[in-house]
């Protein structure tokens, strides 16, 4: 009997790439998603890659009776990967209650139902945003978390604490929180990728939409930061590499390999690149020109962050493999394929 994994938010960007890797590794996947920030056609994209259309339930996990349906219908769920959350940093500043209600209630419902239906393993989609602007770089898992820059970031910090306290109080829950740095790129088949709603907030989708002619030019939000070229530095991680980290985390939980029942891992490349370096790498990787202009800083941006990934490398046995140029080229291949 294949091990069944519930992937909440599984038609989303990172979720869909993780479903592909789970299926490729022999897991049976059930997706629960409310399609508020993704499209049902993603299921076809997944099937084009793996030949298997995942089981799918459209529901809102922040509503207890809806979340319950998934556990009642699928009594053999072995583990859960929880992606489902609202994630637009800027939007969360204007709509904090929507973010706290959705992101916290969804997790609380999942954890309560795990207890009731004896589902023991959860991998949680966390974010490097919990570190704020770290004093010391690269950040390790022991780096002090700081006041989040946005309500979105704060929901990640609070959710980590809800999980920590639940693991402590309830024997039947074991957890791994993966703190993502900046996920970018698309599946090499270009059957799945990032589908931003409306005007993209994130750098890479805005950049590729500019190059394909949907946007006039890319704004580089500031070149007066204390960095090598004045633009902000981030740790850009290939989304397929990131997806693979979820499979090794599920395996770690199922095979009881945890050192403690609530673990945290930084999932990045360990390299920091500036915005201007990203533009140059994209142009080199694709031969395309990126029209851009330097504008003012964006509220809430931190100057620099990149990961110390040694713990994930050694303890999880996971390492980012794809090069930045291959990753940027995959984002461009995907952009050329989708018609918005």
Q: Which residues are catalytic?
A: 152
Which one, of 74, 16, 70, lies nearest residue 40 by Cα?
16
Stretch that binds ligand WQD, among 65-73, 115-123, 215-223, 326-334 (CB under 6 A): 215-223
Residues 86-105 that bind ligand WQD (CB under 6 A): 87, 89
Which one, of 202, 182, 214, 183, lies nearest residue 338 by Cα?
214
For residue 201, the minimal CB distance to ligand WQD (Å) is 5
Whichever of 28 and 33 has its CB closer to ligand WQD, that residue is 33
Stretch that binds ligand WQD, among 67-75, 202-210, 242-250, 311-319 (CB under 6 A): 202-210
**Is 127 one of the binding residues for ligand WQD (CB under 6 A)?**
yes
Is residue 186 within 8 A of residue 333, CB to CB? The reply is yes
**Is 146 one of the binding residues for ligand WQD (CB under 6 A)?**
no
* Token pair recorded at residue 225: 């930061």
Stretch that binds ligand WQD, among 76-84, 102-110, 112-120, 214-222 (CB under 6 A): 214-222
Is residue 114 within 8 A of residue 77, CB to CB? The reply is no
Q: Which of 69, 98, 261, 298 binds ligand WQD (CB under 6 A)?
A: 298
Tell me how far apart the alpha carbons of residues 251 and 316 are, in angstroms, rounded to a whole number. Answer: 10
* HEC readout, 265-309: EEECCCCCEEHHHHHHHHHHHHCCCCCEEEECCCCCCCCECCECC
Q: Which residue is nearest to ligand WQD (CB)?
A: 232
For residue 110, the minimal CB distance to ligand WQD (Å) is 18
For residue 64, the minimal CB distance to ligand WQD (Å) is 25
**Is 179 one of the binding residues for ligand WQD (CB under 6 A)?**
no
* Token pair recorded at residue 25: 């590794």
Residues 220-239 that bind ligand WQD (CB under 6 A): 220-221, 232, 234
Kindly write out the interface string for residues 34-73 of this chain, putting x where it contacts ligand WQD by CB under 6 A and - elsewhere: ----------------------------------------
For residue 202, the minimal CB distance to ligand WQD (Å) is 3
Size of the site for ligand WQD (CB under 6 A): 19
Tell me how far apart the alpha carbons of residues 190 and 90 are, in angstroms, rounded to a whole number. Answer: 28
DSSP category for residue 130: G
Q: Which residue has the tokens 């059957």?
A: 191
Tell me how far apart the alpha carbons of residues 122 and 72 are, in angstroms, rounded to a whole number. Answer: 18
Q: Crossing angle, helix 42-50 and helix 13-24, to 10 degrees?
A: 30
* Token pair recorded at residue 185: 């790129």
DSSP category for residue 39: -
User: Which residues would be at the binding site for ligand WQD (CB under 6 A)?
Assistant: 87, 89, 127, 129, 180, 182, 201-203, 206, 218-221, 232, 234, 275, 298, 301
């Amino acid at each position: 009997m294949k091990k069944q994994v519930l992937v909440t938010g599984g038609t989303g960007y990172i979720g869909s790439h993780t479903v592909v890797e789970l299926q490729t590794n022999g897991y049976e996947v059930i997706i629960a998603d409310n399609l508020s920030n993704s499209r049902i056609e993603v299921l076809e994209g997944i099937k084009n890659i793996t030949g298997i259309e995942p089981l799918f339930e459209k529901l809102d996990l922040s509503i207890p009776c809806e979340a319950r349906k998934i556990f009642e219908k699928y009594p053999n769920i072995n583990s859960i990967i929880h992606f489902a959350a609202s994630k637009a940093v800027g939007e969360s500043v204007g709509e904090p209650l929507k973010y706290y209600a959705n992101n916290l209630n969804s997790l609380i419902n999942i954890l309560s139902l795990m207890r009731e239906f004896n589902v023991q393993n959860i991998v949680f989609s966390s974010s490097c945003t919990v570190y704020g602007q770290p004093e010391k770089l690269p950040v390790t898992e022991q780096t002090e978390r700081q006041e989040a820059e946005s309500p979105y970031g704060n929901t990640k910090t609070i959710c980590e604490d809800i999980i920590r306290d639940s693991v402590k109080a309830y024997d039947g829950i074991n957890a791994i929180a993966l703190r993502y740095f900046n996920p970018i790129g698309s599946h090499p088949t270009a059957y799945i990728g990032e589908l931003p709603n409306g005007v993209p907030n994130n750098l890479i989708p805005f950049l590729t939409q500019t190059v394909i002619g949907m946007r006039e030019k890319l704004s580089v939000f500031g070149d007066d930061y204390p960095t090598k070229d004045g633009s902000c530095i981030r740790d850009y991680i290939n989304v397929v590499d990131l997806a693979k980290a979820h499979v090794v985390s599920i395996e770690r939980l199922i095979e009881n390999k945890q050192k403690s029942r609530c673990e945290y891992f930084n999932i990045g490349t360990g390299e920091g690149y500036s915005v201007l370096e990203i533009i140059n790498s994209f142009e080199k990787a694709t031969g395309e020109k990126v029209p851009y202009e330097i504008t003012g800083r964006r509220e809430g941006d931190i100057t620099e962050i990149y990961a110390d990934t040694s713990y994930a490398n050694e303890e999880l046995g996971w390492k980012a493999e794809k090069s930045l140029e291959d990753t940027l080229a995959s984002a461009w291949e995907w952009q050329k394929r989708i018609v918005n």
